Amino acid sequence: MTQVSIESVRGNIANQPDIDAIVNAANARLMPGSGVAGAIHSAAGPGLAQECRRLAPIEPGQAVISGGHDLPNSHVIHCLGPVYGVDTPSDELLADCYRNALELADRHGLSSIAFPAISTGVFGYPIDEAARVAVNAIRKAVPGLTSVRLIRLVLFSEDDLRVFRAALASASPGT
């Protein structure tokens, strides 16, 4: 069984210098926006939006990979989360984001990846449900990983961190 660490921290997804790939909670056109996408694009510089033009559009649940440009990370993995209750089934589409992002990172031989709480901002996903879906999807994907060794969940607020920590604590161990 591979040894994969799953950790949760409070922080800014655009400031994770020790991580190979950070995950963007993207919009379908992969353009700079508010929240996570805004923070990532402003730290990455205009080259990221330029590269993203040929990768867009993407569908809810999908993940695509780009370079990191001016970020300290070699790659950005862009996921389009579901708009809660609009893109359905929202739980399956959110789980797809985590699974597809992990598989992409693994296929590219990356050893670490950091996720924000996809869909929990303007897309309206309740944080406690999102945390449960995220943790379950990650735990399910872990046994298939051969390259990824560190999965970091980066939460913007202390409250969100508490919710994700509780989900991590209650999910079945065994990894």
Q: Which of 92, 141, 138, 152 is nearest to 119 (CA)?
A: 92
Considering the complex, state which of residue 28 and residue 143 has its C-beta at the smaller distance from ligand ADP.
Answer: 28
Q: Does 150 bind ligand ADP (CB under 6 A)?
A: no
Contact in structure between 70 and 45 (CB atoms under 8 Å): yes
Tell me the window of 30-38, 66-74, 101-109, 134-142 that interacts with ligand ADP (CB under 6 A): 30-38
What span, in angstroms and rounded, lies between the C-alpha atoms of 171 and 71? 32
Query: Tokens representing 144?
Result: 């298939």
Which of 21, 93, 116, 139 lies at the binding interface for ligand ADP (CB under 6 A)? 116
Tell me the window of 10-18, 57-65, 134-142, 145-153 that interacts with ligand ADP (CB under 6 A): 10-18
Q: How many residues bind ligand ADP (CB under 6 A)?
A: 21
**SS3 of residue 134 by DSSP:** helix
H-state helical runs in the chain: 35-44, 46-52, 90-107, 127-141, 158-170
Which of 6, 12, 99, 111 lies at the binding interface for ligand ADP (CB under 6 A)? 12
Residue type, 117: A
Q: Does 117 bind ligand ADP (CB under 6 A)?
A: yes
Beta-bridge mates of residue 21:
75, 113
What span, in angstroms and rounded, lies between the C-alpha atoms of 99 and 43? 25
Q: Does 121 bind ligand ADP (CB under 6 A)?
A: yes
Considering the complex, state which of residue 2 and residue 88 has its C-beta at the smaller distance from ligand ADP.
Answer: 88
Under the rule (CB under 6 A), what is the footprint of ligand ADP? 12-14, 25, 34-37, 39, 81, 116-123, 154, 156, 160
